[in-house]
Amino acid sequence: MSLSIKDALDWARQQLASNAELTDAALDSRVLLSYLLDKPVSYFMTWPERCLSQSQFQQLQSWVERRCSGEPVAYIVGEREFWSLPLAVNESTLIPRPDTECLVETALSLSLPQQARVLDLGTGTGAIALALKSERPNWHITAVDQSAQAVELAKGNAERLELEVEVLQSNWFQALNDAPAFDLIVSNPPYIADDDEHLHQGDVRFEPRSALVAGQSGLADLNHIAAGGYPHLQPGGWLLLEHGWQQAQAVITLLREFGYKNVNIWRDYGNVERITGGQKVK
């Protein structure tokens, strides 16, 4: 069977629209075909009559079937853009999300030394660390993750993007006891409660539960990082945490209990309280 690009897009969109849970069948079909052909979407409008080969259409059928089952597009094509950086992704890590770019923006807005030492905890794909390095090449950035697969993935992304970031396997601060103190610690840790209904919806059904769920109603890892982060910060250093949409006040309380000052909240692109941070002032 040979289909034109236009007909292939129409077919994929119709198939994906049959799953009511998929909110943008047109976008998904364009993304899948763009990766399949290694062409920008503008190519589809310029050459709609060009035909897919038999093997290309078979690959598209396989991808559409996987997407219809709910599998995230990023896992299907093996890539997701974050901070304009193309990052390889796989099932060992969370898929980088646009709201986490707010954590990067907040970090870049702080007054830090020109050669700041920065730690990214639970780096996953390396998204936050690599975004920061792309903007502040003089910063020395260390990224850690407890998953060996995630460490391998983050290292690969750093090498492919030619961004010098140190990536280590570590359960939070475990491998950092002898490391010099940091000027900034950032983290997007697990913060979803294990009984949250959203764990059974959308892309998160396919993402590693260990990267999503935390005890104490989602606050366990946030608490651990707030407590452990303080002794790992230089005087004047900052801790920035991404958290759930209803957790800001709880995180503020945690940071103040552990001695952080100048505690503040930053909102994401949906005007939700998403980032909370505090400073070690002595």
Domains 5-70 and 83-279 share a fold: no
Q: What are phi and psi of 97, to 5 degrees?
A: -120, 150
Q: Could you state, in order of their start, the residue ranges of all structural domains in the chain?
A: 5-70, 83-279
Exposed, middle or buried by CB within 10 Å (0-12, 13-18, 19+), for 230? middle
Q: Say which amino acid occupies 102.
A: C
Class of domain 83-279: alpha beta
Q: Decide if 212 contacts 266 (C-beta within 8 A).
A: no
Q: 161-181 pLDDT, tens per residue?
A: 999 999 999 999 999 988 899
Q: What is the mean pLDDT of the chain?
A: 92
Confidence of residue 45 (pLDDT cuts 50, 70, 90): confident
Q: What is the pLDDT of residue 202?
A: 74
CA dist list (Å): 139 to 115, 142, 154, 164, 180 = 5, 10, 18, 10, 14
Q: 233-265 pLDDT, tens per residue?
A: 999 999 999 998 889 999 999 999 999 999 999
273-279 vs 261-267, strand pairing mode: antiparallel
Counting Cα atoms < 13 Å in the Cβ hemisphere of 237 gives 21
Better pLDDT: 93 or 200: 93
Class of domain 5-70: mainly alpha
Bridge partners (DSSP) of residue 145 are 169
- Residue 278: closest CA among 227, 220, 202, 209: 227
- Residue 244: closest CA among 269, 280, 212: 212
Q: 68-122 pLDDT, tens per residue?
A: 988 999 999 999 999 999 999 999 899 999 999 999 999 999 999 999 999 999 9
Percentage of the chain beyond pLDDT 90 is: 74
